[in-house]
Amino acid sequence: MQPLKHLVMEHRLISKAVTVTKTFRDRIDTGGPIRPKQYWLLVDFWSTYADIVHHGKEEQQLFPTLLDYTKSSEFGATIDKLVEEHMYLLGYIGELRRFARPMFTGDRPARERVIQCLDKYLRLIEPHIQLEDEKLFPSVANLLPEKKLNTLAKEFKAMDERTGTKVQSYYSNLVEQLKKEV
């Protein structure tokens, strides 16, 4: 699979998880039922699939390849912005972990903090995906030669093999399961 299409495919799964996360956020806000297991599975999706699997490909392979190939300050600024956003997103996941137990034991300030973190995460992730899908990836596809794109595809495949070949199907099934349960 062409490497940029691979990343866009991962974005589609992440977008489905955004929809589930919005439902979780609304349930938490209204005091609706959220089972701790569902919450932790969603946090696992964001930390493992979105950060380690997806952002890992971008930060360890795509961005360095792009920066090596072009010295354009435009790409450098965009990549800096995206990496900074990855760091913010990961920070919000840390907060969701930190405040989960107190939230589930009835701590109202912890619940409010979880809602704030979810709001911040959701406000950031959708424009982040849009920037990559609509601006960065098309530019990269037009800039990098076929040989570089093929090398990226092989590197993405190797990364998927290191994280486990069933990761994609596991998290796809997980998001579908959470969608049904929530």
Q: What is the mean pLDDT of residues 10-19?
A: 97
The number of C-alpha atoms within 13 Å of 98 and in the hemisphere containing its C-beta is 13
- Per-residue pLDDT tens over the stretch 15-55: 999 999 999 999 999 988 889 999 999 999 999 999 999 99
Q: CA angle at residue 17 from 16 to 23, to 5 degrees? A: 100
Q: What is the pTM of this model?
A: 0.94
Cβ distance 99 to 91 under 8 Å?
no
For 38, counting Cβ atoms within 10 Å of its Cβ (0-12 exposed, 13-18 middle, 19+ buried), the class is middle
3-177: CATH architecture: Up-down Bundle (1.20)
The number of angstroms, rounded, from the C-alpha of 139 to the middle of its chain's C-alpha atoms is 21
Amino acid identity, position 98: R
Where in the chain are the domains?
3-177
Q: Is 81 left (phi over 0), alpha (psi -120 to 50) or beta?
A: alpha
Burial class (CB in 10 A: 0-12, 13-18, 19+), 107: middle
The answer to whether the CB of 25 falls within 8 A of the CB of 122 is: yes
**pLDDT tens-digit profile of 48-74?**
999 999 999 999 999 999 988 887 667
- Chain segment 84-122, per-residue pLDDT in tens: 999 999 999 999 999 999 999 999 999 999 999 999 999
Q: Which residues, at least 6 apart from 78, have a Cβ–Cβ distance to it below 8 Å?
A: 131, 135, 136
3-state secondary structure of 107: coil
Distance CA 142, CA 22 (A): 35
Closest CA relative to residue 24, chosen from 117, 105, 86, 127:
117
